[in-house]
A and B are shown apart, each in its own frame.
Chain A
């Protein structure tokens, strides 16, 4: 990688090499009987060069011909966009968070097979007929960044994921529970019990009336709402002038009980890192402080266009590709929604009438930038007089987070990960629900 940087720096004004190595071993169990493993050993690199104020990029498998990479990046820079930033030189110092578990680095895949077997054994005692898939993955990432400003840093990170997916009768879907951490864990028995309990409650199907009612978004579903703030606070959307938050800095956008922090210093959090994918040191920062919008997130390019520089949120990876994305995008490192002091049981018991939403379908519907949502309730429960009546069918919920998050009346003390946020279950007082009863 040093050779690649040297070759590029001989011909360009600035250069950056980003090297990602990933070893994963996902184990899939299909419904008690079937299983498979796909090992991955991936090695990818991207090169960015800046010449005469213009940037060019190329990425590829790490085995690719260095000369070709440099030549292609320089060609891209000839017609590439003008940029005003320098690659960072600031040292990231010690990573504030523990993100690598040696037990995972040396783990044999047989452990996942026997852990999977153990989960099946626990479920079998209670529900031998329950269709249930399991997914385990042990991912070890080695990431290195080198640039011509003198940055040469690396980190190793582990990420362990276990997911249980039950399926309803006549369906491919059902209650899911998933946990991910940088540290090895055995799947907690109480979460398995919760899955079995919710599965039992789902056997009764109930129709839901159309009116406004309290909705308890379980931690597994809040990401569909918070995805809107991810777009709203994205500095690229500010630079483009399309986010409604551009006028809202230091103004209230949510109720005063909502605090969102981007915290890359949290121990064992999958989003914790010492520096982002452009080498900018990450830091803990307030996004929404007791309802007040505090800051946008930027990568080097959007930060320089906006004037304030990068916030350490330039991410070059996407969940879907497993490798390197060509261009960085402002993304949260580890978004945390601060928890409350209630329990799920207590919040359900306090509802005269309401809905519990575990999972939604169609999170991308509605005008996302404006905060609208209109989603089908995938897995949800209808509550009357403080008790769950059964699984809510044919139910839709709609609203706008910039209005609804002023009416959050309860949050659980427990936090969980979902694809966007580490946060609690969230009770919103009055949400438009449309059903068929």
Chain B
């Protein structure tokens, strides 16, 4: 495939061209309670070319490998058509890379039998269904193997084998007419071992879901909160991370002015990092979709805004650095600049000390969806506990958090010592319109527990 792509690129009549071809095999076993509901196998093969010519930028996705020549011609015509409107595109120079990447060490899911995978999923679902009031669950096991071949006209040639396996399920607890639901996922890694011996974790989640039936709705108000690791990860991804993606900042002068490098974002203890090469994290990868090596980028260092995430295009426009964040959900989409694994680094305050220092507040756990609109954000917490005089109290639910990202970052008073990355992923981003939304599985978030003052909590 690599030689085939190289040959096609060589004939492209453009200033710059690249081509990738992807071969993805995915299997999902879904269960309705412990019965197999479906085994679905998917093979997705296809490619994408992108072209820069006369300053115009264009691309084409295609399914049949033999269409690559045609795709390159179409993309070159597209680039020239667009260049009548926009001829400003250029790429920041990047190192030429020749490499082959294999999945990390550990247990290869391909070597585990189908029956073993079914048995493990059944065992986990069985644990969930044993918990009182859990009435049903659906979900199961998914594995994905992808070979991505990438070449560009500058000489970069990369073959990456990527694999991913996870167990996830959504459970529903019911009592009378009331229902509550919660999800659990484990794995999100190339190592099958990450799926094993997770019984306690899964049982604990199911018990939380059941407990939610008895939890009372949170009283709306303004609180000092402690966010757990999952929630602080969701917060930093949704509220701040998306603003760091530089493709949205190009040409938006007010956004550039607002997010100027050197701006104070929070206390000295606040460090925010995006790290694609974080081994074991669910958003791990080696090279992005334009052949740039994934890296570790400080977005906020000692409370000061210090970096943005870039593609070669955005880095050239905004005088930025290569960060290796130009990624597409699959060959059917044009890449966009997006986070890899974003997290807050450990600070210095142990969890107990954070709770201890609050007279009246909330301990909030788990993110539940999320959305941002510029500097405004809103998302739910899955559950929480009241804090009274430094002690955790009754469980609360129906928690909605909203606010302005800059105010909230500045209101982070304490940063914990218990950094943990999430297991799971899923992030949607649009290029320009909702119609062009692309969902990406491999996206990691994390952080330590953090204490934030003056958080607006809405009820439901």
A residues near B (Cβ < 8 Å) are 25-44, 55-64, 68, 72-73, 75-76, 79-81, 109-110, 113, 116-117, 131, 133-135, 137, 161, 163, 165, 167-173, 176, 178, 180, 240-242, 244, 319-323, 326-327, 359, 361-367, 369-370, 372-376, 378-379, 394, 396, 398, 419, 434, 436
Q: Would you mind naming 10 contact pairs between A and B with Cβ atoms under 8 Å apart? A: A30-B251, A36-B57, A42-B63, A72-B41, A110-B81, A113-B81, A131-B251, A135-B432, A362-B380, A365-B378
Besides A60-B44, A170-B258, 12 new A-B residue pairs in contact (Cβ under 8 A), listed by A number: A30-B251, A31-B252, A41-B61, A59-B42, A61-B64, A63-B64, A64-B43, A163-B433, A163-B435, A169-B254, A171-B375, A394-B456
Q: A40-B60, A43-B64 are in contact. Are A135 and B433 (CB under 8 A)?
A: yes
A133 adjacent to B437 (CB under 8 Å): no
Residues of A within 8 A of B81 (CB): 37, 109-110, 113
B375 adjacent to A35 (CB under 8 Å): no
A362 adjacent to B378 (CB under 8 Å): yes
A163 adjacent to B432 (CB under 8 Å): yes
Interface residue from A62, A323, A379 paired with B332 (Cβ < 8 Å):
A323
Residues of B within 8 A of A362 (CB): 369-371, 378-380, 400, 402
Residues of B within 8 A of A33 (CB): 86, 88, 251
B130 close to A (CB within 8 Å): no
Q: Which of B67-75, B145-153, B342-350, B444-452 contacts A (4 or more CB under 8 A)?
A: B67-75
A376 adjacent to B402 (CB under 8 Å): yes
Instruction: Give complex CA distance A167, B252 in Å.
Output: 9
Interface residue from B39, B88, B252, B458 paired with A172 (Cβ < 8 Å):
B252
| Whole-angstrom distance between the Cβ of B408 and the nearest chain A Cβ | 12
Residues of B within 8 A of A62 (CB): 63-64
B40 adjacent to A326 (CB under 8 Å): yes
B residues near A (Cβ < 8 Å) are 28, 32, 35-46, 56-65, 67, 71, 74-75, 78-79, 81-82, 84-86, 88-89, 118, 136, 138, 172, 174, 177, 179-180, 220, 242-243, 248, 250-255, 257-258, 332-334, 368-380, 398, 400, 402-404, 428, 431-439, 456, 458-460
A39 adjacent to B60 (CB under 8 Å): yes
A172 adjacent to B374 (CB under 8 Å): yes
Instruction: Give complex CA distance A41, B88 in Å.
Output: 27
Closest to A40 in B: B61
B433 adjacent to A178 (CB under 8 Å): yes
Residues of A within 8 A of B64 (CB): 43, 61-63
Residues of A within 8 A of B84 (CB): 113
| Whole-angstrom distance between the Cβ of B80 and the nearest chain A Cβ | 10
A242 adjacent to B172 (CB under 8 Å): yes
B255 adjacent to A398 (CB under 8 Å): no
Interface residue from A37, A326, A367 paired with B460 (Cβ < 8 Å):
A367
Closest 10 CB pairs of A and B: A171-B374, A60-B43, A135-B433, A31-B251, A326-B40, A376-B378, A374-B460, A39-B60, A76-B39, A362-B378
Closest to A399 in B: B460
B398 adjacent to A170 (CB under 8 Å): no
Interface residue from B85, B375, B434, B435 paired with A117 (Cβ < 8 Å):
B85
| Whole-angstrom distance between the Cβ of B203 and the nearest chain A Cβ | 22
- B39, B71, B398, most chain A CB atoms within 10 A: B39
Closest to A133 in B: B432
Residues of B within 8 A of A396 (CB): 378, 400, 402, 458
B61 adjacent to A36 (CB under 8 Å): no
A80 adjacent to B334 (CB under 8 Å): no
B35 adjacent to A116 (CB under 8 Å): no
B85 adjacent to A369 (CB under 8 Å): no
Instruction: Give complex CA distance A325, B434 in Å.
Output: 19
